[in-house]
Homo-oligomer: A and B are copies of this chain.
Amino acid sequence: MAAQDFYGSVSLAVSTVIFALKDRALWVPLVRREREPYKGTWALPGGPLSPGRNLPDSALSTLEATTGLTPSYLEQLYAWGNPERSGGDGHVVSVVYWAALSSTPDQEAKGVAWFPVDGLPSLAFDHAEILDYAVARLRRKVAYSRIAHSFMPETFTLTELREAHEAIVGHPLDPANFARQFRSSPALIDTGRHREGTPFRPPRLYRYDSSLTYADDGALARASSAPDDTQDPTC
């Protein structure tokens, strides 16, 4: 039997690796699969691409369905297309996005749970490989871009910014070196205000200069809003 007969046709899915910082670590939401293959195991949120819908719109809609939140950053990661990757469920090519959130949701959607990237459960399909790749990309990117910005609230102290960097790279950074490097960044603006509720030497509050664009502003710049699809949040 030719591969073409066995696989029938190629279908396309969009999945999203959603990162947020919590408890000084990097976390991702996963979705428990409700059907075979891999029923009961955890998977990246995603679903089939609806005809007529943009790839980033599909990623944003998955994000909304999974977390109820809007990302501060969205970028196409890679397309995975190995015919064997779908566990007998046909030939599925997944275009994967990664997103950064500046907070985690107060309440989790049904079937969704958050995990620290250093303590992931067993994952369906090739999603462990995809997550590894996404974490590696984020860790590389934080070294040369302002991507940490996407994880921060509107204003923040230098200590909070360093802790965000530490959570992303997964190891401590020298506070003095970090402060020196970031105080000289033209993208970081001193608000003139200080963190309230800290009686002794309250730390300065900074914000990012939003008039500067990212080195790579990813697909979000091209995304337009589209009506929400009803879709299986796993793929």
Q: Which residues of A does B touch, CB under 8 Å?
A: 2-4, 6-12, 49-55, 76, 78-79, 81-83, 90-91, 93, 95
A53 to B84, CA, bound (A): 10
A12's contact among B2, B12, B50, B52, by CB below 8 Å, is which? Answer: B12
A136 to B8, CA, bound (A): 37
Whether A3 lies near B50 (C-beta < 8 A) is yes
Whether B79 lies near A54 (C-beta < 8 A) is no
3 smallest CB-CB distances across A and B, nearest first, come from: A3-B52, A7-B51, A55-B81
CB distance from A3 to the nearest CB of B (A): 3
With A76-B78, A78-B76, A95-B93 as known contacts, state yes or no: A53 contacts B12, CB within 8 Å. no
Using CB atoms, name the residue of chain B closest to A95.
Answer: B79
Whether A51 lies near B93 (C-beta < 8 A) is no
Q: List 24 A-B contacts (CB under 8 A).
A: A3-B50, A3-B51, A3-B52, A3-B53, A4-B51, A6-B52, A7-B51, A8-B51, A10-B11, A10-B49, A10-B51, A12-B93, A49-B81, A49-B93, A51-B90, A51-B91, A52-B83, A52-B91, A54-B82, A55-B93, A76-B78, A76-B79, A81-B95, A95-B95
